Amino acid sequence: MIEITEKRIHIDGVPRIVMCGELHYFRIPEGEWRRRIRLLKQAGARAVASYLPWLFHELPDATIDVTGRTRPERDIGAFIDLCRQEGLWFVARPGPFVMAELKNEGIPYRVYREHPEVVPLGWGGAPAPTSTVDYLAPAFLAECARWYDAVMPVLAARLQPSGGNVIAVQLDNEIGMLAWVSNSPDLTDNALADFGHWVLAQYGGQGPYPVGPADRAGWPRAVRDPNEKWAGLLRQDLGTFMRGRFARYCQQLRQLAEERGVTGIPFAINIHGTEGGDGAAFPIGISQLVEAYAGVPGMLSGSDHYLGELTISTATDLYVMNAFMDAVHDADQPLTSLEFEAGTGDYSGGYEQLHDPSTVELKTRLCVTQGVRLINYYLFGGGVNPPLDEAVGDGNDRLGFTGEWHGTGAPIGPLGQVGLGYEPAARAIAAVHANEPWLARMREEHDGVELAFVLDAYLTEYHHPKSAAMTDAVVDLRAHRGAGARKALARSLLLAGYRFGAVHLQRDAPAPGAVLALSTGRYLAQSLQDGLLEHVRSGGGLLLLGRLPVLDLDGRPCTALVDALGVTPGDLLRDGPHCYPSVLASGWAAPQPELRAGWRQTFASAGGTPILTDTAGAMCGAEIPFGDGAVVLLTAELPADPQLFGRAVRRLGAAPGLALDSSVPGVLATTTATPDGQRLLHVLNVTGYRASVRMGLNGEPLNEGYPLSVPPRTGYMLPLSLVVGPWTLHWANAEIREVGPDFLAFGPGAGYRGDPHATVVVLAGNPEVKEDATYTVERLPDTVRIVTVAGLAPDGGITIRFR
């Protein structure tokens, strides 16, 4: 039985973190299946995931083989059964779209050939440049039903609640991504008619548009080539409409699956959005797909991210991505990651990349702290693209477009060889499993600060290239949303030691009295401006970074926020070849060096106290009291600065509960806790420098005040008041490696009493500990402190045995 409740995944009543790896049976010879599955199992994984590509299973005569009658690699059930025999769960990803570097994104060529009407037209009526479709075209849905007729009964016979091992089914893949990356919205006649009905329902008529859907010639022209008078509104309406349309598509697929017996397990939606190793655009995927899963019983969402190395920049991306995903979920939906980048990064057969081996482990550690309950390492095992059954003359006539081999940088290579990424992935999995009994029940603890998530700031996937109104809004929103320009807002808070989540500002009010951190530009909806004022008026704090908001999202003047605060916007100065804006801190923001800014906007404020000025003395930062609360405005493109932003948040009333004093920037820390107060302290050093870190929690020093010595690119999950079997683990500077009936095993410690490699474990209740040459036992009132003897503990770890 599988239950999704209280942000946990329970399998047969046990809270789990499902560590999974993607193996493509269709790229692996059937005789090799078991060996590849066992390699994944030996790495510690408990589940296998795989796409089930329609393109591979449909034959030239349009029949579908899922039983292996034409070739053994098409026997889906046999592969899933092998996984079960090896004690592994299975996550099925049957599409219809699967991407996976397959031709046509996994859709049979025949579908496009026989149903040309499903191929979308975009701006100006131009055909879509990608292999996307009109998802709700009747012909495409009928074809999806044919595919599900074949594949879903195979899954239905193997569901975990009925004794099988299939624990989840992903519906389609990266829905809406192809239209976004090509800026080519689905504007088929069918979709435009659908949009027309939406407009009629939304406005009680054609609303602000010059023609309505009844005008069969004028309506398509008005949408595909909009006039500037309504272009700003169309950008919003079209994005909002497509959210609902994608949700209806997912509902159709779910209904098709359930009608074919797939019930009692969660369905998952894969969220796309990272590009070029950057996660700033990821919430576009949340925006597009939010209505398909958020608050929908039986639905999960999963991230799909390719960020490369984990650095201070990408760690900020990943933290914000997870926070924003969680912000739109309901009280039960946990985070998952359906494509979690693994391996060395060289997936194209070259040597263009070689990720640091710590990358996958650091990313894994960061994600599980934020409540990610399922991680699917993609791609865990490479393979070979078989020839297409029917040659298409595309240069290689293979199933995939990567040539013969696929996944050359995966932990298991295309020919089944163990790759460079195998051991790092295994270490990450082992660390999670050792702490799963606590992690799977824990949530990240947060301080009194929330990052604002403005969903409609990500309605930027479609804009007509000739529309100035659309383009201006998109450029402004992209520059200021989310983590802020240069990611300075979120990164500064992380480096200042703040533990924070996000609030879905268009649905939820900030917590009373909390400090709301918002990055925005000129475009901010009237309702949100009013909501921000109410939050501050009633005693909350607002840290606002960016341009002063003066427009509604459709481009109409909207100055509710600045008017209420008594702020008059001034001039904007951007840097350039011969222009170098700088800002100066004053008041509580000082001492601070002169900060180089990419741009700065001045403003006047009669009631505000200046905290930033340009070099001529004009304000570009101020603290402004309002009602029972206060606002800190910072109107410049600032670098990440934990001191400045930390002072601002403290000034507004929120102090970090986790004190963090590190010898090098780039150490991140947070805590997770069970409802009864058991904790893990998570410390990540994403830099290449050894860091000396002093830490405290809620005013009490950790590690007895001694600094933790955190090696380069490593992480720790350190226990605090954990109940471990019959023992209470008060604290330790090393993480749990294994728990047995009469022993506790720990990994290397993070230093103690001046020894940078020492391990210390403090147990409550004076348990009887066996003597050992590798550690000393110090008995204190109500506790036992065990400390390693320098140089004698194997690999720096320690195993404590009890009498």
Taking 80 as the threshold, does the pLDDT of residue 491 lie above it?
A: yes
CA–CA separation, 45 and 83 (whole Å): 11
> Is the pTM value of this prediction over 0.95?
yes
pLDDT at 793: 57
pLDDT at 803: 83
Helical residues (DSSP H) of 554-701, grouped into ranges = 560-565, 642-651
Q: Of 414, 441, 468, which residue is a domain's last?
A: 441
Residue 124 within any structural domain of the chain = no
Same-domain status, 265 and 334: yes
User: SS3 string of 472-522?
Assistant: HHHHHHHHHCCCCHHHHHHHHHHHCCCCCEEEECCCCCCCCCCEEEEEECC
Three-state SS at 705: helix
- Domain of 586 in residue numbering reads as 449-651
Same-domain status, 76 and 21: yes
DSSP state of 576: B
Residue 183 within any structural domain of the chain = no
Same-domain status, 472 and 369: no
Same-domain status, 631 and 727: no
Render pLDDT for 14-37 as a digit per residue (tens, 0 to 9). Answer: 999 999 999 999 999 999 999 999
Residue 232 within any structural domain of the chain = no
Q: Of 632, 651, 670, which residue is a domain's last?
A: 651
Residue 125 within any structural domain of the chain = no
The mean pLDDT value of the chain amounts to 96
Taking 60 as the threshold, does the pLDDT of residue 677 lie above it?
A: yes
For the ranges 347-356, 517-526, 751-760, which has the lowest average pLDDT?
A: 347-356
Beta bridge partners of 21: 48, 377
Q: What is the CATH number of the domain that holds 104?
A: 3.20.20.80
Q: Under a CB-based contact definition with an 8 Å cutoff, are residues 567 and 537 in contact? A: no
CA–CA separation, 578 and 149 (whole Å): 65
Residue 211 within any structural domain of the chain = no
Tokens of 597: 């800014």
Confidence of residue 794 (pLDDT cuts 50, 70, 90): low
Same-domain status, 383 and 456: no
Render pLDDT for 215-247 as a digit per residue (tens, 0 to 9). Answer: 989 999 999 999 999 999 999 999 999 999 999
Residue 167 has φ and ψ, to the nearest 5°, of: -105, -10
Same-domain status, 633 and 712: no
* Mean pLDDT value across residues 531-555: 97
pLDDT at 792: 62
Q: What is the CATH number of the domain that holds 592?
A: 3.40.50.880
| Cβ count near 478 (within 10 Å) | 17
Residue 240 within any structural domain of the chain = no
Confidence of residue 766 (pLDDT cuts 50, 70, 90): confident
Percent of the chain having pLDDT more than 90? 94
* Mean pLDDT value across residues 453-462: 97
Same-domain status, 377 and 484: no
Taking 60 as the threshold, does the pLDDT of residue 41 lie above it?
A: yes
pLDDT at 796: 75
* Mean pLDDT value across residues 184-191: 96
List, in order, residues 6 or more apart from 540 with CB less than 8 Å away. Answer: 510, 512, 513, 514, 515, 516, 629
Residue 218 within any structural domain of the chain = no
Same-domain status, 607 and 740: no
CB-neighbour burial class of residue 779 (10 A; exposed 0-12, middle 13-18, buried 19+): exposed
Taking 90 as the threshold, does the pLDDT of residue 692 lie above it?
A: yes
Same-domain status, 603 and 517: yes
Same-domain status, 404 and 476: no
pLDDT at 791: 64
Place of tokens 């350190």: 718
**How many folded domains does the chain comprise?**
3
Render pLDDT for 287-339 as a digit per residue (tens, 0 to 9). Answer: 999 999 999 999 999 999 999 999 999 999 999 999 999 999 999 999 999 99
Same-domain status, 14 and 104: yes
Render pLDDT for 138-184 as a digit per residue (tens, 0 to 9). Answer: 999 999 999 999 999 999 999 999 999 999 999 999 999 999 999 99
Same-domain status, 464 and 391: no
List, in order, residues 6 or more apart from 116 with CB less than 8 Å away. Answer: none
What is the β-pairing status of strands 708-710 and 372-381?
Answer: unpaired
Percent of the chain having pLDDT more than 70? 99
Q: What is the CATH number of the domain that holds 732?
A: 2.102.20.10
Q: Of 381, 414, 441, which residue is a domain's last?
A: 441
Residue 455 within any structural domain of the chain = yes
